[in-house]
Amino acid sequence: MPATVSLEAEVFSQEQIAGRVQELGREIDAHYSSGDLLVLGLLKGSFIFLGDLVRNIPRPLQVDFLVAASYGSGTTTSGDVRLLYDPETQLRGKHILLVEDIVDSGNTLNRLVRLLKGREPRSLEICALLHKRIAQSLEIEPRFVGFDAPPLFLVGYGLDHAENYRHLPFIASLKDPEGTDG
């Protein structure tokens, strides 16, 4: 099926992102003074952000990933969450930093947070590249946020529309936001 959408405008440039990711790395480094840190990237959307972020955190850390899937069908984010890939790295007793591309309704994060809390980490914090600030109630408000996002459907730097545009080095809005399902 041919792409029926195209890019509208650049929202965050490559340079803006690089600068902010550097700052986030410093904030995160300063936040964790001791203990084991496990940076957990939520796939697929966080893959580029996570790669850039961890290279800006000088302290020792480990990296792993989560692949989550919602029960049920369709494009809604209701229902329960299960892990398609469960990090083999032991979570208990470690500082867990969950890295997400964008917080929209917050449903994905809320379900993951409940699941991860059950693994008894030493601490659990969230780092989101983008935050739309429309989530009604978040179990944990992200401590580290790259940018507040406008109420648009955004792509690039890991974010997709129907699996396209993840590779763009910048973040852009789409011309036709119809049928955007994350």
Residue 105 contacts ligand IMP per CB under 6 A: yes
Q: Which of residues 30-69 bind Mg ion (CB under 5 A)?
A: 45
* Residue 121 contacts residue 94 (beta carbons within 8 Å): yes
Q: Is 86 helix (H, G, I), strand (E, B) or coil?
A: coil
Binding segment for ligand IMP (CB under 6 A), chosen from 14-22, 51-59, 78-86, 101-109, is 101-109
Q: Which C-beta is closer to ligand IMP: that of 21 or that of 159? A: 159
Per CB under 6 A, the list member of 17, 57, 91, 102 interacting with ligand IMP is 102
Kindly state whether residue 50 participates in binding ligand IMP, applying the rule CB under 6 A: no
Is-contact 85 65, C-beta < 8 A? yes
Should residue 81 be labelled a site residue for ligand IMP when binding is judged by CB under 6 A?
A: no
Applying CB under 5 A, does 177 fall inside the site for Mg ion? no
Smallest gap from Cβ 42 to ligand IMP, in A, equals: 7
Rounded to 5°, the CA angle 169-100-81 comes to: 135
Question: Is residue 54 involved in binding ligand IMP (CB under 6 A)?
Answer: no
Q: Which of 182, 164, 180, 160 is CA-nearest to residue 3?
A: 164
The alpha carbon dihedral of 87, 89, 111, 144 has a sign of negative
125 in contact with ligand IMP (CB under 6 A): no
Shortest distance, position 12 Cβ to ligand IMP, whole Å: 12
The first and second tokens of residue 80, run together, are 């329960």
How buried is residue 64: exposed, middle or buried, by Cβ count under 10 Å (0-12/13-18/19+)? middle
If one asks whether residue 182 binds Mg ion (CB under 5 A), the answer comes out as: yes
- Which residues are known to be catalytic? 104
Local structure of 7: helix, strand or coil: strand
Binding site for ligand IMP (CB under 6 A): 45, 77, 100-108, 153-155, 159, 182
